[in-house]
Amino acid sequence: MARKKIIAGNWKMNKTPSEAVALVKELTPLVKNDDVDVVFCVPAIDIIPAMEAAKGTNINIGAENMYFEESGAYTGEIAPNMLVDAGVKYVVLGHSERREYFAETDETVNKKVLKAFEHGITPIICCGESLTQRKQGIYIDWIRMQIKIAFQDVTADQAKKAVIAYEPIWAIGTGETATSDQAEEVCAAIRACIAEVYDDATAAEIRIQYGGSVNAGNAAELFAKPDIDGGLVGGASLKADFGKIVNYK
């Protein structure tokens, strides 16, 4: 069975609620494509208005983060059942910006992944190496470690539904995209790692995205690779270009 592509925008810390509604409306006619799962991961305050604006369209609204506790004294955090109640089906977890600026670790990412599955939310689990790690030639080992920890105690049935986003840190927001061969090498290694941890059937089903300066000009080549099942798109998801990325063929 062929894997359905999943192309997600990660808006990061951009767009006020009213701007979010306007952007969803602007992009709605441009991102129609039944062959692709389309997700807009938006700031927490934008989730409800964006969800309302996306009603009746093929756009899924996702979150950019979530906490791993159910409720309580965690000022500023968003609980999983808050996302569920708002209709959220996808959540980005372990983005390199969360790891760099907000001290997220592989262990907290794992807790969040388990909690997302417990609540029926599909995690988009981010991994990726720094430029130094790439130059040192240790990037595959690094990413395998990130994956193994992120999936600790995750069952094969859950893992099949997960989405992994391979995002080399040196390619994020820099305009420097990994070549399609570089991206495919790592996405294939991630799939092999999943096969080792689980089995071939799980590896065949899990979807792996590439993220890092994806744009309308490079999406088709990246998404044509056998182990790349779509993209996690930052900057280009905030403009009409996102329509071209979703309709890359």
Ligand X SMILES: O=C[C@H](O)COP(=O)(O)O
Residues assigned a catalytic role: 95, 167
Determine if 43 is a binding residue for ligand X (CB under 6 A).
no
Q: Which residues pair with 67 in a beta bridge?
A: none
Instruction: Check whether 94 is labelled as a binding-site residue.
Output: no
Report the first-to-last Cα separation within the chain, whole angstroms.
Answer: 20
Q: Which is nearer to ligand X, 182 or 195 (CB)?
A: 182
| Parallel/antiparallel/unpaired status of strands 90-93 and 122-127 | parallel
Q: Which two tokens stand for residue 174?
A: 């820099």
In whole angstroms, how close is the CB of 8 to ligand X at the nearest point?
8
Number of helices (H) and strands (E) in the chain: give both, helices first.
12, 8
Q: Which is nearer to ligand X, 24 or 245 (CB)?
A: 245
Q: Which two tokens stand for residue 142?
A: 């690094």
Which of these segments, 80-88, 108-116, 131-139, 166-174, binds ligand X (CB under 6 A)? Answer: 166-174
Instruction: Check whether 10 is labelled as a binding-site residue.
Output: yes
Q: What does the alpha-carbon distance between residue 51 and residue 86 come to, in Å, rounded to a whole number? A: 8
Instruction: Check whether 170 is labelled as a binding-site residue.
Output: no
Alpha helices in 28-176 (DSSP H): 47-54, 80-85, 96-101, 106-118, 131-136, 139-150, 156-161
Report the residue number whose CB is nearest to ligand X: 234
**CA dihedral over 56, 210, 152, 72, signed as positive or negative:** negative
Residue 138: C-alpha distances to residues 79, 128, 135, 145, 174 (Å): 35, 11, 8, 11, 21
Determine if 128 is a binding residue for ligand X (CB under 6 A).
no
Determine if 167 is a binding residue for ligand X (CB under 6 A).
yes
Q: Which residues pair with 58 in a beta bridge?
A: none
Q: Which two tokens stand for residue 64?
A: 């950019």
Q: What does the alpha-carbon distance between residue 56 and residue 122 come to, in Å, rounded to a whole number? A: 21
Instruction: Check whether 213 is labelled as a binding-site residue.
Output: yes
Q: Which is nearer to ligand X, 203 or 245 (CB)?
A: 245
For ligand X, the binding residues in 84-113 under the rule CB under 6 A are 95
Instruction: Check whether 234 is labelled as a binding-site residue.
Output: yes
Q: Which two tokens stand for residue 23?
A: 């952007």
In whole angstroms, how close is the CB of 41 to ligand X at the nearest point?
8
In whole angstroms, how close is the CB of 167 to ligand X at the nearest point?
5
Q: Which of 172, 183, 187, 222 binds ligand X (CB under 6 A)?
A: 172
Q: Which is nearest to 24 in space by CA: 51, 43, 5? A: 51
For ligand X, the binding residues in 201-240 under the rule CB under 6 A are 211-214, 232-236
Determine if 158 is a binding residue for ligand X (CB under 6 A).
no
Q: What does the alpha-carbon distance between residue 146 and residue 161 come to, in Å, rounded to a whole number? A: 18
Number of residues this chain uses to bind ligand X (CB under 6 A): 14
Q: Which of 10, 122, 146, 202 binds ligand X (CB under 6 A)?
A: 10
In whole angstroms, how close is the CB of 71 to ligand X at the nearest point?
28
- Which residues are near ligand X by CB under 6 A? 10, 95, 167, 172-173, 211-214, 232-236
Binding site per annotation, positions: 10-12, 173, 213, 234-235
Binding site per annotation, positions for substrate: 10-12, 173, 213, 234-235
